[in-house]
Structure 1
Amino acid sequence: MSTFNLTPSGPSPFILNGIPGLEAAHIWISIPFSTFYIIGLLGNFMVLFVVSKEQTLQKPMYLLLCMLALTDIGISTCVVPKALCIFWFDLKGITVNGCLTQMFFLYVFTTMHSAVILTMAFDRYVAICDPLRYATILSNARVAKLGLVGLIRAVLLVLPQPLLLRRLPFCANRVILHTYCEHLAVVKISCGDTTVNRLYGLVITVVIIGLDLTLIGLSYGLIIRAILRISSKKAHQKALNTCTAHICVMLMSYTTNLFTALTHRFGQGIAAHVHILLANLYVVVPPMLNPIIYGVKTKELRDKVGKYTCRM
């Protein structure tokens, strides 16, 4: 009987259900959702535009900020257009290949985002703990190479996920209880043995989030030790201020990401709509707030953005 219910993974599309239990509120949910997305696009494209135009901003810190902006644009754009099609037009169907493609690019951008935040922590460590050698250790060329390494790592780690899913059989009921093709949400609708898929998803979570957070924690441990050795309180404040924006961005990104990853595995008591709403906030809120945080906390960038804004 189970064999009868299996269908080939090719022709029959998946159905993205949206937010379970809140289907009647999809239109209302779409208003802040689309607003956050548009603000995020404007903010991140403004950062890219200003840094590309201003020679004085073309240094490692701002090159990393541009990488962060690109990953933010990628993360939100992988999800929001399709989600709005569900909210506005009830277009819930997505082909298997389309679903796996969305998943691949979403997780590549997410993994790359983590690599950029890790590199930013290293940037702050060098700037505070070894400022005299900053220009030697972190040149633009070296930052670009670190970005390329992060991209290669992302592709190599993420590529097996859709390939492993492609081999699974799926039941006749192909409804994914989500607004996008989240890995474990797709795994749950398979009728085959998903042990390898679940295990690989867990390994990726540990490698990416666990390793990156450990290295970021180590960087900040060394930064705090260096700050405590400074006798001047004014110098303390200045050193901490250079890290504030990065800490805010890091907390926003990893908190929602960790919650989503852990809820799928251990949060059976959490309502599905709560989990999926927070998963959607992850793809729109950090990309919206990151350029605002850096714009407010970084005077040089704030002044240049103000210059171009006043011309409009």
Structure 2
Amino acid sequence: MDTAERYRVFAEREVRGHSPAYEDLARAVAAAPGLVGLIDELPPIKRQPNLLLASVRFLGGPWDDPAAFLAWTVHEWERVRATMLARRTQTNEVGRCAALLPVLASLPEPLALIEVGTSGGLCLYPDRYRYQYDDRPAVGPADSPVVLACRTDGAVPVPERVPRVVWRAGLDLDPVDVRDDEALRWLECLVWPEQADRLERLRGAAGMARREPPELVRGEAAEALPGLVARAPRDATVVVFHSALMPYLEPEERDRFVATVRSLPVRWVSNEGSPRLPSVLARLGRPPSPDRLAFLPALDGEPLAMAGPHGEWLDWLG
């Protein structure tokens, strides 16, 4: 799709009902040929709505008035452009752990976790968060600074406890150090306006990670992964997992990454938007509804569920 359509789809399928401000801004951008033309001068991977909107907020631009947003962004385009080229959309959404937990808890313990596209590594701590699935008894440490609520449908295998994790490491082209105030401010700007709950759990998870920083490795997914897997404890189940990584890989990079994961002695847990992993989508018994954006939590390429992009709901298949 072209850039204008991309922003319209973002407004209609991703932020509608979640961020009225971003819905209005995305529609305004889609209807502004001058700004769309500027965006089209960027590399394709840098034209993402989230990246533009977060960059304007990071620079102190207006976000609650579409006309003011358009005027400011065009006037300050060189600064906005430089920020978009220098930064990445590294939304470190810990809510996705609610979609991952039932899959991780089904694997033999102890676990050694490797997250690809880890950003600040906040999803490397699924055993440190507390989970509330519907009205079931809560799972996870009672004193956790982060509580993740998730609506469920179907026979979700909600575990009675979180799995035991003995080793964890993250891999990213540009890891985020959450101990750096500017880096953390960028992550906060990636949270959509009006979503105070997401911002609260980001800050809670970041505070925990600041006290116990995760091991983060800089590198390209397919190239660096084998070496990281080789470092994992041999007496643990090594789990390579990722959420919302595929939009940032070109098709050939995606295929190379999938081939690499399948060649390694690991369990592979993916949580990607439904069209992003064609091999997983092909195994889905029924197509996702076109009316809502769905992720597909999968184990070793086999889809197990459909989930909200931020882990807010989980529908188990079968």
More strand by share: 2
Considering only CA atoms, is the larger Rg found in Structure 1 or Structure 2? 1
Task: Give the number of the structure whose residues are more often helix, by fraction.
Answer: 1
Of structures 1 and 2, the one scoring higher in RCO (CA 8 A, sep 6+) is 1
TM-score using structure 1 length: 0.28
> TM-score if structure 2 supplies the norm length?
0.28
